[in-house]
Chains A and B, each alone.
Chain A
Amino acid sequence: MISLYKVSYKNILRKKTRSILTIVGIALSAWVLASLMGFNKGYEAALNKDIDNMGFQVMLMAKGCPYEAATLMLKGGTGLRYLKESVADSILSEPEVERITSMLMQAVFDPNKGESGGISAYLGVDPATFPAMKTFLEFKQGKWFTDPEAFEVVMGYESAELEQREVGDKLLIPDKDVELTVVGILKRTGTQDDGTIFLPINAVQKIFGKEGEITSIGIKVKKEADIAKFEERLYTIPDVQVVSLAQVKQTIMNLMSTAKVMVFSIAVVAILIAMVGVINTILMSVFERFQEIGILKSMGAMPEDIFKLIWIETLILCFLGGVAGSTMAYGLSKVTEILVRKLLPYAPTGSLIQLDIKLICVTLGSVLIIGLISGLYPAWRAASIRPLDSIRSDIN
C-alpha cells in the first residue's frame, strides 16, 4: 500500500515549477537566517580576536581627565602628565601580565598647517615590544624600524597620505628642525593607527628632551587572568589611571546591537515571505484538488488523513528548502562575508560568519517549525472539505 509520504511527494511533483519556486523562497529565507545567526556568533568572536590582536587590553597613563585619556586611546593626542619608565618595570613583574610596551606621545605646533597653524603628533614606540603586540598591522611599503635610536618613522596610511610620504622620503618635525626618514607605510586598519606617526621611543625622548619619561603603557594580560582584579591593583599605583579595552569592546557591542536589530528585522520579513509563500502554494494545491479530496473522503479517508497528507506536503517543501538554504549559507559564507564587510562601518578582521553543525540544525529546525505552522491552515481547509460539496462542484 502506498504511504501518505509517497502520495504527498507525488502531489508536490504534479506542479513542479510552483514547488521549485516555493522551495527557492524557503531556501533564501533559510540562507538569510543561517547567515545572520553565523554573523551574530562570528562578529563577537572576531571582535574579541581583534582586541586580542591590539596587543594590549589595558592601558596605563598618568592621571588626568579620563575623557582625554580615552581620546588618547581612540584618536591619539597628548597625555597630560608623564610616567617614569620605572613604572613599566614594576608592572612587568605582576603575575597577570604577559607583556607590556611603553609609549611616549609628543606634539608640536606647526605654524604652516592652515591659516593659523595646527598640531602634529608623534608616537614613540619600542621597536622591541610594540610590533610584537600589534601583529595585525601590515605594511603597504617598507617595514618597522629596527634601531631604537634611529631617526626613522613608520606612518599610518592616512598620515602618510596627508603628508604625501613614501618609503625613503624625508619628514621634518617642525619647530625642532629634525629630519626623519620614512621606513614604512602601514596599510589602512580603520583604527587610530591610520593617523599616527610612529618613531622609536628613544628617538622621541631625545628629540623632545624627555629621557626616562613615557606617557602610557600598553599591557597585554594573560588569557586566564582576572582583568577586573588586576585593574583594581593597578589603581593602587599613585598618580596613574587605567583605561580598559573591555569598556571599548562594550561600546562597540552596544553600537552593533542597533545594527543587529535592523538586520534581524530583515530576517523576520524574509521568513514571513517564505511562510506566506508556503501557505499560498499549499492552499492553491488544496483548491485545485477540491474534487479529488472529496473523492478520497467518500472512499473512506478520514479528516485527519487529509490533514496529515497536506501537512506532510508542507513539511517536505520546507525540509527541501531548509536543506538547500543551509547548504547555500555554508557554501556561500565567504561571499556573504565579503558583502557584510563592505556594508559595515566597522568590521573586525577574521571570520565574520561562523557556521557550525549546531547552527545549521537550528536553521533546519526553525524552517521545519515554520513549515508546520504554515501548513496548519491549508491542512485544516482540506480536512474540512465535505465530499458531497466537492463532487457537486464544477471542475473549473
Chain B
Amino acid sequence: MKTTTRYIFSIASICLFISFISLSSVLVLISSDTVHAAVGCDLNDPDKDVARLFPDSTGYKTFYMSIDKKGGDPLVREIEKRLGDKFKGLYETADVPYTVYEIYKGTEKTGYIHGVNQKGQYGGIQVFLSLDMEGNIRNFYFQKLTSRAARVLREKSFGLQFVGLNLADFYNYDIQSGKNLSPGKLDNIQNPSLDAESDFRAALRATKKNLILMDEFVFDNKYLKK
C-alpha cells in the first residue's frame, strides 16, 4: 500500500511536469515568430510573376537564405571582396533574408528567380533576375524603382541588355568607378539617360550582388575565382 501510493504520486508528479514543459513550449513556439527581422525582397505577386518570367513553367518552390545562416561574418567579407564594395548603411546587413524561387517544368527544375534591394538616388530599388540552371540571366526586371529616369530604365530594351550575361561577365565591373575594367559583354549595357547615371550604376551593383549571392546560395560558388 505504502509503495503503491508513493508510485502514484511520483507518476502524477512526472505527468504534471511533462504537461508544464509542453504548455510552456507551446507558448514559446506560438510566440517565437514575432521577432522583427530585416526586410527581404519578395516578388509582389509570385504566381503571376513566375508565369511571366518563365512562361513554360508549371510550378515553383520558395526557399529562404541569409548570409548570417550560411556563413556569418566571414561570408560577408567574402561577398564584399567579390563585389568590390562594402555592405553599406543601416539596411545592407548579414541578416537580410533572401527569397529564392526555384522554377519547375513538371518535375524538372528549369531556373531561378531572385531579387535584391539596392539603395537608389531617390528611393529603394528592387532588382529581380531570372536565371537558367547555369546562372545565365534570362530576364532583368525592376520590381520597384523610384527615379526621375524610371520610365526609360523600366523599358524592355534596357532589361534585354542583361540577357545572356552571367557572373563571369560582371567580375571586372568596378563598382567604385562604375567602369568595366576589361573589355567584355558588359560594355554593351548602355545607360539610357544622363539623368539616370546614379540609378544605372545602382542597377549594375544590384545585379552583380544578386549574381554573387546566387552563386553562394545556389550554384555552389561555380563562378568563384580560384
Number of A-B contacts (CB under 8 A): 111
Question: Which residues of A have CB within 8 Å of B117?
Answer: 164
B 1-19 contacts with A by CB, 8 A: 2, 5-6, 9-10, 12-13, 16-17, 19
Shortest Cβ distance from B152 into chain A, in angstroms?
11
Question: Which residues of B have CB within 8 Å of A171?
Answer: 122-123, 146
In the assembly, what is the distance between CA of A179 and CA of B121, in Å?
11
A238 sits at the interface (CB 8 A): no
List the B residue with the shortest CB-CB distance to A165.
Answer: B123
| Given A161-B91, A162-B124, A279-B9, A345 contacting B31 (CB threshold 8 A) | yes
Question: Do A343 and B143 have beta carbons less than 8 Å apart?
Answer: no
User: Residue A162 contacts which of B28, B39, B150 (CB distance < 8 angstroms)?
Assistant: B39
In the assembly, what is the distance between CA of A196 and CA of B121, in Å?
20
List the A residue with the shortest CB-CB distance to B19.
Answer: A269
List the A residue with the shortest CB-CB distance to B28.
Answer: A343
| Given A164-B120, A279-B9, A115 contacting B16 (CB threshold 8 A) | no
Binds A, one of B44-52, B159-167, B170-178: B44-52
Question: Do A112 and B2 have beta carbons less than 8 Å apart?
Answer: no
Question: Do A164 and B13 have beta carbons less than 8 Å apart?
Answer: no
Question: Which residues of B have CB within 8 Å of A41?
Answer: none
Question: Do A163 and B124 have beta carbons less than 8 Å apart?
Answer: yes
In which size bucket is the chain B interface?
35 or more
List the B residue with the shortest CB-CB distance to A340.
Answer: B31
Question: Do B27 and A164 have beta carbons less than 8 Å apart?
Answer: no
Interface-centre pick from A141, A172, A177, A290 (highest chain B CB count, 10 A): A172
Known: A161-B39, A290-B2, A343-B34. 17 other contacts (CB 8 A): A112-B146, A114-B45, A115-B45, A162-B39, A171-B123, A172-B122, A172-B147, A262-B23, A266-B27, A269-B20, A272-B16, A273-B13, A273-B20, A342-B31, A344-B31, A344-B34, A345-B31
Q: 28 A-B pairs, CB-CB below 8 angstroms?
A: A110-B146, A112-B147, A114-B45, A115-B52, A161-B39, A162-B124, A164-B123, A165-B123, A170-B121, A171-B122, A172-B147, A172-B148, A174-B150, A185-B90, A265-B23, A266-B23, A269-B20, A269-B23, A272-B16, A273-B16, A276-B13, A276-B16, A280-B10, A283-B9, A284-B6, A290-B2, A343-B32, A344-B31
Task: Name the 6 nearest CB pairs between A and B, nearest first.
Answer: A172-B122, A164-B119, A280-B9, A343-B31, A164-B124, A273-B16
Report which B residues bind A (CB closer than 8 A).
Answer: 2, 5-6, 9-10, 12-13, 16-17, 19-20, 23-24, 26-28, 31-32, 34-36, 38-39, 44-45, 48-49, 52, 89-91, 117-125, 142-148, 150, 154
